Amino acid sequence: MVSRSNSSRLVAVLAWLVAMGVRLAAQAPSPTTPLRLSFADAVRLASGEVPVVALASLRTTEADARVRQARAALLPSLSLGGAWVNRDFNSEALGIPFPPQFNLPNPVPPFDNYDGRVTVTQTLFDWSSVARVRAAGAQADGSRAERGVTVEGAALTAALAYLRAARGQAAVAARQADSALAAELVGLAQAQKAAGVSGAIDVTRARTQLVTAEGLLIVARNQMDRARIDVTRALGLDPATPLTLTDSLAPTLGAAEVPTERDAAVTAALAGRPDLGAELARGVAARRSGTAIRAERLPRVADYGVNGLTGASALSTRQVALQVTLPILDGFRREARAAEQDAVVRESQVRESDLRWQIAAEVDAALLDLRSAQAQQAVAAEQLRLAEDELAQSRERFKAGVAGNIEVINAQTNLIRARDTEIDARFAAATARISLARAAGVARTLH
């Protein structure tokens, strides 16, 4: 049996735990405030802050550093050096006859030699290094263009993810309206049954529609939540971040500054597509690398310093040299490298030509999809209006007792399909606008 003192201590401990729980609950952070996110905000964030863009920026920095490395071959080189040597030698080993004509012990006893030297080198003319610097610069330009490709891809991914989330949000709203309508029709069927106008089968049909609508609402909410997770990943955010989408599937969603005329759109795309710019830069880099291979020259000038038997008695010595290297034959290795580089240049030319046709085809396809989606959107809006009218008329007929609620159920089903068709049409139109912006190379300007 627990003693009274132990019981008192147990009660005190429990009271303390309860008090601490209340205090911790009071200090616990409130649920995370949802992040309000517009379509333009999503595109802007994806264009500058997502991991893939950060990695592309780092690769651009690496390319700029390689330009500086290549330029170092043309800039002065400065080094300091010091040495101490203790040695002896035999004069005969140096070709000095013995006995010499002057007083020189043989072998010469050991002696110290100190040497301090400043070495400066400067390339006077090296066209190969100049060409390599230019090639590295073209590669850096290509890296910046590749970063533009990455930015366009990230913006496109975020735009489409936001669009799917907006579509999921619209689908949830439609399913909620369907559920509310189904519940209203259940009440109407029960009232008609109570009035003796209709039978129990009408109530059963109405309840079946209500259960179906509630099931579809569950599916729509799940799809919306999954689409919002995709948005967070496209923006490099924590997937648990709650989002509030401030834009819906409006007629202007996904707009960008893109000409609607085919020729103007193709011209803008050829001028603005970063992937074409990257291919052009790769071609320039390949040509300049070939030039560097064919022009390898290494002239340079050399060093100045002091040396002597002791540091105090060190004498000034210098060496000035002009070195010219003119490679004649290296086993035809240079010729093979030049031939390889020529093939790289031709590959780039083929890719460039094909990419130009591909860009024109993408612009044409996007314009066709946009015109078709706009026409489908008008048809879907009219279909939705007619479905709403059909449901209203069938309800009036059911209330008047001149028709059963099977007519109402059919009209309700038609309305559900019409709502889905209208949402799909708005989604297709926005997708087409985004595709046109991507084809023109301005996805990062979507709003």
- For 299-339, the pLDDT digits (tens) are 444 344 445 455 555 556 666 666 566 666 667 777 787 88
Tokens of 57: 């920026």
Mean pLDDT of the chain: 80
Q: Is the pLDDT of residue 167 over 90?
A: yes
Name the pTM for this structure: 0.75
- Angstrom distance (rounded) from CA 215 to CA 327: 80
| Inside any domain, residue 202 | yes
**Domain presence at residue 424:** yes
Mean pLDDT of 35-58: 88
Alpha helices in 241-332 (DSSP H): 262-272, 274-294
Asked if residue 148 is part of any domain, the answer here is yes
Let me know if residue 5 belongs to a domain: no
Residue 306, domain member (yes or no): no
Q: Please check the confidence at residue 103 and state whether its pLDDT lies above 80.
A: no
pLDDT over threshold 60, residue 196: yes
CA atoms within 13 A on the CB side of 108: 16
Q: What is the pLDDT of residue 1?
A: 40
Residue-level pLDDT at 92: 62
> What secondary structure, in 3-state letters, does 7-18 show?
HHHHHHHHHHHH
Q: Percent of the chain having pLDDT more than 90?
A: 24
How large is the average pLDDT for residues 17-22? 42
Whether 4 is covered by a domain: the verdict is no
In a domain, 407, yes or no: yes
Helix, strand, or coil (residue 135): helix
What does the CA dihedral 148, 152, 158, 160 come to, rounded to 10 degrees? -170
Q: Which amino acid is present at 107?
A: P
Alpha carbon distance 426, 40 (integer Å): 18
Summarize pLDDT for 177-195 with one digit per residue, the tens: 999 988 988 888 888 888 8
Q: Please determine, for residue 380, whether its predicted confidence score (pLDDT) is greater than 90.
A: yes
Phi, psi of 157 (to 5 degrees): -60, -45
Does residue 167 belong to any structural domain of this protein? yes
pLDDT, residue 2, reads: 41
For residue 160, give the CATH number of its domain. Answer: 1.20.1600.10
Position 95 scores a pLDDT of: 61
Sequence-distant (6+) residues with CB within 8 A of 242 are 31, 32, 33, 34, 35
**pLDDT-based confidence at residue 28 (cuts at 50, 70, 90):** very low
Non-local CB neighbours of 306 within 8 Å, separated by 6+ positions: 115, 116, 117, 314, 315, 316, 317
Domain range holding 381?
A: 39-79+122-296+333-445
Q: How many domains does the chain have?
A: 1
Distances in Å between the Cα of 313 and the Cα atoms of 81, 83, 358 are 18, 15, 76
